[in-house]
Amino acid sequence: MYYHKLGKFPQKRHTQFRRPDGQLYTEELFGAEGFSGSSSLLYHHHPPTTVKRVEQGAEIKIEPWKEGLLRHHHLLTKDLKPWGDPISGQICVLFNDDVKISLCLPKDEMNYYYRNGEHDELIFIHKGEGYMQSQFGRLPLRPFDYIVIPRGTTYKLHFTTDDNRMLICDSTGPIGFPKRYVSKMGQFMENSPFCERDIRVPEEPLFIDESGEFELRIRKQGRFHHYFFEFNPLDVVGWDGYLYPYIFNMKDFEPITGRVHQPPPVHQTFEAHNYVICSFCPRKYDYHPLAIPAPYNHSNVDSDEVLYYVEGDFMSRKGVEFASLTHHPGGIPHGPHPGTVEKSIGKEGTDEYAVMIDTFRPLHLTMAAKEMDDGHYPYSWIDHA
Ligand SMILES: [Fe+2]
């Protein structure tokens, strides 16, 4: 990310900066990789260390589905019932040591602040509007937003709509843009399918001046930890730096097309340790006179492939529906459903939107995923012939 600033701060870092009452503001370095990575400098009204009470919170249990079978999966999530709040309502369906993939249809308001104390998060807003309020300011939310949240960010998600749906990646490694899209100086280059103008950064309001009792739930090492303060922890009056949450909307992705079928890396949007996130967006089809727009069969020998179907008619699949999620594990081939190859010839373009998550280590399904599984899917390449 690039340099951004909001609010007020001293001209020189690590120098005296005083509140209207003459007390010093408290400076905090919010940094990745110790003191060696990207960072921001924040100025708090109260010292962020002045916690009044700490309580143990709930354990976060992920129960694996030990199916013992290598096969394709299709999770039907359309009819999931809203449950919990934007944090407690997250249902993990796939996981490995690099990423946990969850769905969430929040029903309740968050009456606390939240911080992921060890992992970055990427939240895809499928349905819903509202805002995310963090110590870096406010990010208004709308459908198809990808929110990237660095570990350690204190925030609350607030929806102003009733029908809300999110896809979440809890990421062991940091999430960023593909290195091949940016110059040595960090600027998006002409070959990138998006650029700085497509990225939304935090804005006012920033400083929330409130006293009372405020709860912060920190997620770390498989459980929540409840911290209580006598002031609103979003008490930052100003900050600047390179580490902060931001938003890229999937509809701002400009697809890269060719005369013949282009492989998934042209859809890449984010990269993280051992996995990538791609955006399939409406685009013109391949324009070679004999082109076959549908993808060829492929064996993801080294990776698992997850597709979350967002909107439109996905041209290579039959039987998938709104918010379907398919998991094609490495080691076996997958490809277009019968009939879709012929049907794609001569078509001008597609209106599909989908999020793809390709992991380089195997994913495991959870018992929650078992409840959503369409057991017929592995045989759908025959039945649809
Ligand atoms: Fe694929």
CATH number of domain containing 324: 2.60.120.10
Please indicate, yes or no, whether residues 371 and 274 belong to a single structural domain of this protein.
Answer: yes
Task: Tell me the residues surrounding ligand 1 (ion) with CB < 5 Å.
Answer: 305
Please indicate, yes or no, whether residues 91 and 11 belong to a single structural domain of this protein.
Answer: yes
Domain boundary at 225, 249, 273, which?
A: 249
Average pLDDT, the chain: 95
For 51-92, the pLDDT digits (tens) are: 999 999 999 999 999 999 999 999 999 999 999 999 999 999
Residue 217 lies in a domain: yes
Judge whether residue 236 has pLDDT over 90: yes
Judge whether residue 385 has pLDDT over 60: no
Catalytic residues: 261
Quote the number of domains for the chain. Answer: 2
334 C-alpha to ligand 1 centroid (Å): 6
Please indicate, yes or no, whether residues 95 and 142 belong to a single structural domain of this protein.
Answer: yes
Residue 370 lies in a domain: yes
Please indicate, yes or no, whether residues 227 and 272 belong to a single structural domain of this protein.
Answer: no
Q: Which residue in 157, 134, 158, 149 sits closest to 236, CA to CA?
A: 134
90 C-alpha to ligand 1 centroid (Å): 26
pTM given for the model = 0.96
Domain boundary at 249, 264, 287, which?
A: 249
> Using 50, 70 and 90 to split pLDDT, how confident is the model at 300?
confident
Q: What is the edge-to-edge ordering of all strands in the sheet holding 145-149? A: 199-200, 246-249, 145-149, 120-127, 165-171, 99-104, 91-95, 364-365
> Using 50, 70 and 90 to split pLDDT, how confident is the model at 318?
confident
**Tokens 């962020």 -> residue:** 48
Please indicate, yes or no, whether residues 279 and 237 belong to a single structural domain of this protein.
Answer: no
Please indicate, yes or no, whether residues 347 and 371 belong to a single structural domain of this protein.
Answer: yes
335 C-alpha to ligand 1 centroid (Å): 6
Token couple for 44? 């708090």
Please indicate, yes or no, whether residues 306 and 169 belong to a single structural domain of this protein.
Answer: no
Average pLDDT over residues 31-41: 91
For 133-161, the pLDDT digits (tens) are: 999 999 999 999 999 999 999 999 999 99
The answer to whether the beta carbons of residues 39 and 250 sit under 8 Å apart is no
Predicted local distance difference test score (pLDDT) of residue 315: 66
Domain of 317?
Answer: 250-379
List binding-site positions for homogentisate. Answer: 334
Residue 302 lies in a domain: yes
263 C-alpha to ligand 1 centroid (Å): 9
Domain boundary at 229, 249, 269, which?
A: 249
Average pLDDT over residues 162-182: 97
User: What is the distance in angstroms between the CA of the first residue and the CA of the last residue of the chain?
Assistant: 48
For 331-369, the pLDDT digits (tens) are: 999 998 888 888 889 889 999 999 999 999 999 999 999
Please indicate, yes or no, whether residues 263 and 226 belong to a single structural domain of this protein.
Answer: no
Judge whether residue 126 has pLDDT over 70: yes
349 C-alpha to ligand 1 centroid (Å): 19
Residue 74 lies in a domain: no
Token couple for 292? 């076959």
Residue 21 lies in a domain: yes
Please indicate, yes or no, whether residues 37 and 177 belong to a single structural domain of this protein.
Answer: yes
Helix/strand/coil percentages in the chain, nearest 5:
10, 40, 50
> Using 50, 70 and 90 to split pLDDT, how confident is the model at 383?
low
